[in-house]
Amino acid sequence: MTPDIYNDKRFGINHNSISNNALNIISRLQKSGFQAYIVGGGIRDMIKGLKPKDFDIVTNCEPEEIRKIFRNSRIIGRRFKLVHIAFADEIIEATTFRAGGTKTTESIEINEKGRIVRDNNWGTQEEDVLRRDLTINSIYYDPFSNEIIDYTKGIKDLKDKKIKFIGNSGERILEDPVRILRALRFAAKLNFTIDQEIVKGIKEHRNQLLEMPPARLYEEVIKLFMTGHAEQSFIQLKAYGVFDILFPNFFDKDQKFNEFYLEAFKETDKRFKLNKKLNVGFIFAVLLWPKIFEDSGISTQLNFKRFYRSIAEAVRKQQMITSIPKKYSSFIKDVWMNQVRFNRIGKKSVNFTKSLRFRAAYDFLLLRNINEEGLDPLINWWTEFKTANYDKKIRLLNTRKKKNARKQNS
What's this model's pTM, rounded to 2 decimal places?
A: 0.88
| Length reported for the chain | 410
**Contact between residue 241 and residue 194 where contact means Cβ atoms under 8 Å apart:** no
Q: Give the amino acid at 149.
A: I
Q: Which residues pair with 193 in a beta bridge?
A: 162
Question: What was the pLDDT predicted at 100?
Answer: 63
Residues 6+ apart with CB under 8 A from 154: 44, 134, 135, 136, 137, 138, 139
Matching CATH topology for 1-160 and 272-410? no
**Domain range 272-410, CATH architecture:** Orthogonal Bundle (1.10)
Please give the CATH number for the structural domain made up of 1-160.
3.30.460.10
Nearest Cα residue to 173 out of 220, 219, 133, 121:
133
Centre a 10 Å sphere on the Cβ of residue 91 and count the other Cβ atoms it contains: 14
Q: Is 254 a catalytic residue?
A: no
Residue 113 has pLDDT above 60, yes or no: no
Per-residue confidence at 372, pLDDT binned at 50, 70, 90? confident
Active-site option among 8, 56, 119, 252:
56
Per-residue pLDDT tens digits for 296-340: 666 556 667 778 888 888 899 999 999 999 999 999 999 999 998
Per-residue pLDDT tens digits for 169-191: 998 999 899 999 999 999 999 99
Active-site option among 119, 133, 176, 195:
133
What are the respective helix, strand and coil percentages of the chain, to the nearest 5? Answer: 55, 10, 35
Q: Give the amino acid at 190.
A: L
Centre a 10 Å sphere on the Cβ of residue 60 and count the other Cβ atoms it contains: 18
Per-residue pLDDT tens digits for 217-275: 999 999 999 999 999 999 999 999 999 999 986 656 667 889 999 999 999 999 999 99
Question: What was the pLDDT predicted at 104?
Answer: 47
Centre a 10 Å sphere on the Cβ of residue 26 and count the other Cβ atoms it contains: 25
As a whole number of angstroms, the distance between CA 49 and CA 41 comes to 12
Sign of CA dihedral 116, 54, 210, 164: negative
Per-residue pLDDT tens digits for 133-174: 999 999 999 999 999 999 999 999 999 999 999 999 998 999
DSSP secondary structure letter of residue 105: -
Residue 109 has pLDDT above 60, yes or no: no
Q: Is 334 a catalytic residue?
A: no
Active-site option among 54, 142, 244, 363:
54
As a whole number of angstroms, the distance between CA 148 and CA 140 comes to 6
Domains of the chain, by residue range, sit at: 1-160, 272-410
Q: How big is the CA angle at 381 (ends 375 and 385), to the nearest 5 degrees?
A: 140
Count the alpha carbons within 13 Å of 204 in the hemisphere toward its beta carbon: 12
As a whole number of angstroms, the distance between CA 73 and CA 254 comes to 51
β-strands 82-86, 73-76 pairing: antiparallel
Per-residue confidence at 404, pLDDT binned at 50, 70, 90? confident
Q: Is 133 a catalytic residue?
A: yes
Chain center to CA of 218: 8
Q: Decide: helix, strand or coil at residue 145.
A: coil
Nearest Cα residue to 281 out of 218, 220, 342:
218
Distance, first Cα to last Cα, the chain? 86
β-strands 139-142, 116-119 pairing: unpaired
When the pLDDT of each residue in the chain is averaged and rounded to a whole number, the result is 90
Centre a 10 Å sphere on the Cβ of residue 201 and count the other Cβ atoms it contains: 23
